[in-house]
Amino acid sequence: MIGLSMNQKLWVPWMRRSIQLALLAEGMTSPNPVVGAVVLDSTGKLVGEGFHTGSGNAHAEIEALNQAGGKANEGTIVVTLEPCCHHGLTPPCTEALIKAGLKRVVIGMVDPDPRVSGNGISRLRDSGLEVIEGVLKEECEFINREFVFRIRNGRPWGILKWAMSLDGRIGLPNGSSKWITDKTARDAVHKIRSKCDAVIVGGGTLRADDPHLTSRGKSNPEPLRVVFSRSLDLPKSANLWDTKIAKTIIAYGPEGNEDFFSDFKDGPERLLLNSNDPSELLTSLAGKGCNKVLWECGPLLATSAIDSNCVQELIVFVAPKLLGGKSAMCPLGSFGFESINSTYNLQHSFLEQKGTDLCWRLAF
């Protein structure tokens, strides 16, 4: 709030409420951002609230205006994101705001979508409405960091998650890893999945663990499940091939042996890529509407994803166990670092205890 003018500060409490509203649909709106809005009448009384519930549904502004009805006249709308001015799946919000007779629009952040990107604000000002920008801008950008990242970089925000013992092992030398963390931590992983648009594993994880990769019903629809395999050396039978609960994509590079599909039953979608570069996979997933993906893969793919800048955030669960093991079962492979000063250095973001385990969240 440092650096805000008096005129901006006035609207901070209402912007906080709009942010709360926006977050009610966290993980549900991709490829759209989360957006929240409140409408106040001409005397400053709350007369409408709304948030965007998902692609194709009404925008937050429309939800709030519908609640307010005629009371919006001469009133104010406080909205986390610049109102759109283009015809997408729904009509432009700017026109609805003008039609409702609002006198003032308070905005958290400019929409980075090139179709809007200041044009919405211009349209409102040109129509005689007062527009106040930049109220809790950082907070509004933070709740949409994945959307903003995708718009700017053309690929989704990547989160890498692993669970390890106190001595940094993700499994015993014999491959056994069930369960390093306890149920509270594993439930937390289901919650994290529910906020993501896709969950990605490699062929190795599929062969070793035969995972379900669902949120166990915590989100509907379930996130997209993606197997990223160079070789297509995959089992004929796997939990991921059952797409009744959730969709599955089998992504593979040019070396993939497509014989695998010869007597393969229907269900999973096939995605041939031009390379084994994780960023090419993510570009494809952005095209499918993913703002945020979760990497739940083994050391090889995780290392490759980090090295190709496909991981923006790390979530590490640490269990109070000692596994030991000569043949390393470590979370990551080699980056080729020669000096500690050149290693990846992350920023602390959030730390909490999940049952007996620690959950540490960090940003790259």
How near is the Cβ of 18 to a second copy at its closest, in Å? 32
Site for a second copy in 39-68 (CB under 8 A): none
Candidates 96, 164, 192, 224; binder of a second copy (CB under 8 A) is 164
Segment near a second copy (CB under 8 A), from 23-31, 45-53, 261-269, 321-329? Answer: 321-329
Give yes or no for residue 332 binding a second copy (CB under 8 A): yes
208 near a second copy (CB under 8 A): no
Q: Does 362 bind a second copy (CB under 8 A)?
A: yes
47-50 long-range Cβ contacts below 8 angstroms, 24+ apart: 47/71, 47/72, 47/75, 48/72, 49/17, 49/21, 50/21
State the maximum Cα–Cα separation within the chain, in Å, rounded to a whole number: 72
Using CB under 8 A, which of 152, 236, 244, 348 touches a second copy?
A: 348
Phi-psi region of 118 (alpha: psi -120 to 50; beta: other; left: phi over 0): left
Site membership for a second copy, residue 353 (CB under 8 A): yes
| Residue closer to a second copy (CB basis): 2 or 322 | 322
- Decide whether 128 or 336 has the Cβ nearer to a second copy: 336
Interface with a second copy, residue 167, by CB under 8 A: yes
Contact criterion met (CB below 8 Å) for 229 and 252: yes
CA-based end-to-end distance of the chain: 25
Of the candidates 134, 168, 211, 289, which one interacts with a second copy according to CB under 8 A? Answer: 168
What minimum distance in Å lies between the beta carbon of 303 and a second copy? Answer: 6
Residue keyed to tokens 């069930």? 178
Does position 245 interact with a second copy (CB under 8 A)? The reply is: no
d(CA 42, CA 71): 8
CB of 293 to a second copy, least distance (A): 19
- In whole angstroms, how close is the CB of 308 to a second copy at the nearest point? 14
C-alpha 268: how far from chain center: 22
Q: Which of 178, 237, 259, 262 binds a second copy (CB under 8 A)?
A: 178
> Pick the catalytic residue: 61, 82, 222, 313?
61
Phi and psi at 273, nearest 5°, equal -110, 160
Which is nearer to a second copy, 89 or 340 (by Cβ)? 340
Residue 89 vs 322, nearer CB to a second copy: 322
User: Catalytic: 61?
Assistant: yes
Q: How many CB atoms lie within 10 A of CB 257?
A: 14
Residues in CB range of 106: below 8 A, 6 or more apart: 11, 14, 15, 76, 77, 78, 79, 131, 132, 135
Helix, strand or coil, per DSSP, at residue 306: helix
What minimum distance in Å lies between the beta carbon of 296 and a second copy? 15
Angle between helices 278-287 and 299-307 (to 10 degrees): 80
Residues near 240 by Cβ (< 8 Å), separated by ≥ 6? 206, 211, 212, 213, 225, 227, 248, 268
Residue 220 or residue 347: which is nearer to a second copy going by CB?
347
Q: Which of 13, 118, 173, 235 binds a second copy (CB under 8 A)?
A: 173
Going by C-alpha positions, the residue among 139, 155, 149 that lies closest to residue 22 is: 139
Does 306 help bind a second copy (rule: CB under 8 A)?
yes
Using CB under 8 A, which of the segments 117-125, 184-192, 208-216, 339-347 binds a second copy?
A: 339-347
Round to whole Å and give the CA distance between 271 and 170: 29
Closest CA to 244 of 202, 212, 205: 212
Q: Which string of x and - marks every residue 104-123 that binds a second copy (by CB under 8 A)?
A: --------------------
Check residue 350 for interaction with a second copy (CB under 8 A): no
- Establish if 177 lies at the interface with a second copy (CB under 8 A): yes
Please check whether residue 295 is in contact with residue 200, taking contact to mean a CB–CB distance below 8 angstroms.
yes
Q: Is 172 in the site for a second copy (CB under 8 A)?
A: yes
Task: Give the Å distances, CA to CA, from 158 to 96, 200, 338.
Answer: 35, 10, 26
The catalytic site residues sit at: 61
- What is the contact surface with a second copy in residues (CB under 8 A)? 164-169, 172-174, 176-180, 303, 306, 314, 316, 318, 320-326, 328, 330-340, 343-348, 351, 353, 356, 358, 360, 362
